[in-house]
Structure 1
Amino acid sequence: SFPPQALNLSPVMAQLVAELQQPRLRGLIAAKFGLELDDAPTMLTLRGRTRAKDGRIHRDSACKRVTVLLYLNPADNGAWSRHEGCLRLLRNAHDLEDFAAEIPPLAGTLVIFPNGPDTWHGHRQYVGPRYTIQLNYMANDASARNELRRHRLSALTKRLPWVA
């Protein structure tokens, strides 16, 4: 995951990232879920690949109040038809096959859910390109800063040439 500042975005992508952080979307999400998000700081990251260890069953950290996922993947990836890399909203923390919904990460698909003690999700293993913009409405400024700092450090280390 990379914060947008760590990437050289095209003008169209930069505009999309800016639009996602506008008050209109915040207001729609707040109304839909009955939440007060006016003062919630945001954290936005972009992801381009999924690794073998990604997708394990989890729920988002408590500092994330709402998760917004916008998928940007082409439909012609055969993995999606094999259910690899498709987000599953799960009924429990133990069984990836016991899901309430499965969402293929197709371009233009938007998934929004509030975080909570039972918002388990994950996906079957998929290794390869999987383009996602993730926007989170955070619990407070300190948690947002800590998460962003972690993502910036991670982005920096991914750019370093490792010597064997």
Structure 2
Amino acid sequence: MSMLNLAKFDATPLQTEPCDYLIVPGFVRPEALAGLNADFPAIDAAGNFPFEDLSCGPRFQALVDELTGPDVRRHFAAKFGMDLDAFPTQVTIRKHMSRLDGRIHNDSRSKKITVLIYFNEQWTQRGGQLRLNKSLDRMDDYYVEVPPVCGNLIAFRRNEHSFHGFPSASGERRTLQMYWVDPQRLQRKKATGMRKIIHKLVRRAIKKF
């Protein structure tokens, strides 16, 4: 059985201001959350980490497999009226925040659709709720905000006004971020990763001498 409530996703109207977006409370089914949190990737530091660099339990792996699979792609393509077949997916995971996280920004043009899903069971901090902002410099001036809890989803199509961020918070804020991206973005990422590996090997070789 799917861990995702795709019927609820399909029934949620797409909003268009300031960009194409939708919010689906409980997109991840409530009965799946405890197992997903038990299998959540082991992360000790603040920041966003590529999923492929992390280890997790089988239930979380199954969720990522479903999210990046053809059926979910089909639902998102229909919702956003966009052919996604040419765009691969990237998945990153955040567990811990720092006080510097959440600054308002816009995604790069290489990201076509951004998906964020939240896994905290509850949220009591005043900050930490993702907002679609009206500008780059006013956190308190926004269209909507999303509590980072209970399998909530926000997904939006990047445009020149898709500013987003969240008021400062700290501690655990369990988030999965998925993007459909320009294929060249993945090629650049692979090239950067290879350069880092080469530099590391060179430094090790120099130290030996």
Give the TM-score range, shorter chain: 0.7 to 0.9
What's the TM-score, normalizing by structure 1?
0.83
Pick the aligned partner of 2:181 from 138, 144, 159.
138
State yes or no: 1:9 paired with 2:51: no
Pick the aligned partner of 1:129 from 161, 164, 172.
172
Tell which structure's C-alpha radius of gyration is larger.
Answer: 2
> Contact 1:2 / 1:151 at 8 angstroms: preserved in 2?
no
Cα distance between partner residues in 2 of 1:86 and 1:64: 22
Pick the aligned partner of 2:88 from 36, 41, 50.
41
Q: 1:33-112 residue pairs with structure 2 within 5 A?
A: 33-75=80-122, 77-79=123-125, 82=126, 84-112=127-155
Cα distance between partner residues in 2 of 1:149 and 1:67: 23
Q: Report the CA distance between 1:32 and its aligned residue.
A: 1.1
* Structure 1 residue ranges, 4+ long, deviating more than 4 angstroms after superposition: 147-153
Cα distance between partner residues in 2 of 1:150 and 1:74: 36
* Aligned residue pairs, count: 148
- Percent sequence identity is 35
Cα distance between partner residues in 1 of 2:193 and 2:94: 11
> Contact 1:66 / 1:113 at 8 angstroms: preserved in 2?
yes
The C-alpha deviation readout for 1:66-99, integer Å capped at 9, x for no partner, is 0011111121x311xx2x1100011222211111
The C-alpha deviation readout for 1:105-134, integer Å capped at 9, x for no partner, is 002101110011100000000121111111
* Residues 1:93 and 1:111: Cα distance change in structure 2 (over 3 Å): same
> Contact 1:3 / 1:151 at 8 angstroms: preserved in 2?
no
- Is there any run of 5+ residues in structure 2 with no aligned partner, and where? 1-47, 197-209
* Residues 1:91 and 1:71: Cα distance change in structure 2 (over 3 Å): same
Q: Report the CA distance between 1:145 and its aligned residue.
A: 3.5
Residue aligned with 1:78, SS: coil
Residue aligned with 2:49, SS: coil
* Residues 1:99 and 1:151: Cα distance change in structure 2 (over 3 Å): farther
Q: Report the CA distance between 1:63 and its aligned residue.
A: 0.7
Cα distance between partner residues in 1 of 2:190 and 2:94: 14
Q: Report the CA distance between 1:146 and its aligned residue.
A: 3.0
Cα distance between partner residues in 2 of 1:33 and 1:146: 26
* Residues 1:42 and 1:67: Cα distance change in structure 2 (over 3 Å): same
Cα distance between partner residues in 2 of 1:116 and 1:151: 28
Cα distance between partner residues in 2 of 1:25 and 1:88: 24
Q: Report the CA distance between 1:149 and its aligned residue.
A: 6.8
The letter of the residue matching 1:94 is: D
